[in-house]
Amino acid sequence: MGPAEALDRIAYLLDRMLAPAAKARAFHRARDIAAALGEDQLRELTHTGSLEDVPGIGKSTGAVIREALEGKRPSYLVRLETEAALPLSDQARPWREALRGDCHVHSDWSDGGAPIETMARTAMELGHDYLVITDHSPRLTVAHGLNRDRLLDQLVQIERLNDELAPFRILTGIEVDILDDGQLDLDDDLLARLDIVVASVHSKLHMPAAQMTRRLVTAIASPHTDILGHCTNRKLSSSGEQPRSDAVLRRQPSQFDAEIVFAACAKFDTAVEINCRPERQDPPDGLVALAMEWGCKFAISTDAHAPGQLEWQVYGSEKASRHAIALDQIINTWDADQLVDWARSHASQ
């Protein structure tokens, strides 16, 4: 394993364990520097003791480079492989193995940390048949949401990548913001062009329950909405760790009438997202059970913002297995054609 490869793997694992973004970025930057310099120049810098004088190479990244040049597996990488492990129980394995894609993925077109191609190639390595790119819609400026022109440009890039990566498919999509009145933050003609639309709330998370209920139901009733994203919007204390049953809330969930919201999901055939992010674990178990009672469909999606996070589907698979959700009720166990056909059927309802 060469220095650049080792640094790349460390950055991947840091992203997977939800380490601080600045730490992962430091290893990404060091990887790029190591790749540009090449091993001969890195050896010379190491020999002269000036490796860490290179801007972007620090104590930790320098140690990784030196160990890799010595033919060793860097000790920092060995430690992370253990700390960032994602164990999958035998009980949950059938759910994880049934998943054929991921319906909620971000790229560097909005607030993700990697290009679409990198996310797609990682998904391919994980055995996916497809993934849906769902960067943010325009009003979510804090996440560099896509305006009309940028989204159209992205569709062109996805078409080109699909030609290169076939038979793997990148499906077009967006995580569209649900506005205060329940309308969706994108023009109807653009929403109609996309394969999958995830609708989520990102603002005024704690409006009164009656207003939030109306807001969610209005969005669910849209013929363009395919998946209701992270429905409670809660945040837990397990950031940077594996999900824990005793995780403490650090952001209270939005309040709404869950019976009405899930009844609407069932009526309008909108899937409920099981968001796999370890700091979300959304919806909580009680709401998963309620959505099942209403006969809702589900999507086990990572909400990944970096390649390593695409492995988080193990968390959602564990939740789905605890509730024994039927595999055919999970939309990303379907093949890409069936998924797209189902999404298009909403417009005719």
**What are the tens digits of pLDDT across the range 103-112?**
999 999 999 9
Structural domain boundaries enclosing 286 = 93-348
104 and 75 in one domain? no
Of 27, 59, 83, the position where a domain reaches its end is 83
Whether residue 246 lies inside any domain: the answer is: yes
pLDDT at 197 over 70: yes
Give domain status of residue 48, yes or no: yes
Q: What is the mean pLDDT of residues 84-93?
A: 94
What is the phi/psi pair of residue 299, to 5°?
Answer: -130, 125
Tell me whether residue 88 is in a domain.
no
- Looking at the structure, do residues 43 and 109 belong to the same domain, yes or no? no
From 62, 83, 104, give the residue that closes a domain. Answer: 83
Q: Are 77 and 108 within one domain?
A: no
10 Å CB burial of residue 341 (0-12, 13-18, 19+) is exposed
The whole-angstrom separation of Cα 34 and Cα 42 is 7
Q: Determine the pLDDT at residue 293.
A: 98
Nearest to 194 by CA among 141, 144, 154: 154
What is the rounded average pLDDT of the residues 214-227? 98
Residues 274 and 223 in one domain: yes
pTM of the model: 0.93
Write the Ramachandran bin of 125: left for phi over 0, alpha for psi from -120 to 50, otherwise beta. Answer: alpha
**End position of a domain, from candidates 57, 83, 109:** 83
167 and 149 within one domain: yes
The single-letter DSSP state of residue 19 is -
Does residue 107 contact residue 71 with C-beta atoms inside 8 Å? no
Two tokens, residue 66: 């030196």
pLDDT of residue 246: 59
On whether the CB atoms of residues 131 and 173 are closer than 8 A, the answer is no
Is the per-residue pLDDT at 151 higher than 60?
yes
Do 134 and 22 lie in a common domain?
no
> pLDDT tier at 21 (50, 70, 90 boundaries)?
confident
| Closest by CA position to 196, among listed 270, 139, 141, 250 | 270
CA dihedral sign of residues 228, 231, 233, 234: negative
Q: Which residues pair with 298 in a beta bridge?
A: 272, 330
Per residue in 288-337, pLDDT tens? 999 999 999 999 999 999 999 999 999 999 999 999 999 999 999 999 99
Q: Sign of the CA dihedral 161, 136, 9, 300?
A: negative
Give the C-alpha separation, 238 to 248, whole Å. Answer: 8
What does 6-40 look like in DSSP terms, one character per residue? Answer: HHHHHHHHHHHTT--HHHHHHHHHHHHHHHHHHHH
279 within a domain of the structure (yes/no): yes
Q: How many domains does the chain have?
A: 2
Specify whether 71 is located in the same domain as 31.
yes
* pLDDT > 80? residue 247: no
- Domain match, 242 and 316 both: yes
Q: Is 225 among the domain residues? A: yes
Q: Is 172 part of a structural domain of the chain?
A: yes
Using a 10 angstrom Cβ sphere, with 0-12 exposed, 13-18 middle and 19 or more buried, the burial of residue 121 is middle
16 and 309 Cβ atoms separated by less than 8 Å: yes
Q: Are residues 76 and 100 in the same domain?
A: no
Beta pairing, strands 130-133 & 169-177: parallel
Do 72 and 104 sit in the same domain of this protein? Answer: no
Mean pLDDT of 147-162: 97
Cβ neighbours of 306 (radius 10 Å)? 24
Mean pLDDT, rounded, for 78-102: 96
Q: Does residue 9 share a domain with residue 155? A: no
Neighbours of 343 (CB within 10 A): 24
- Give the model's pLDDT for residue 349: 58
Give the pLDDT mean for 43-65: 95
* Residue 203 and residue 69 in one domain: no
The token duo for 178 is 């649900």
As a whole number of Å, the CA-based R_g of the chain is 21
Rounded CA gap, 281 and 58, in Å? 35
Helices (H) and strands (E) in the chain, counts: 13, 9
CATH code where residue 339 lies: 3.20.20.140
Query: Tell me, what amino acid is at 149?
Result: D
* Residue 265 domain-assigned (yes or no): yes
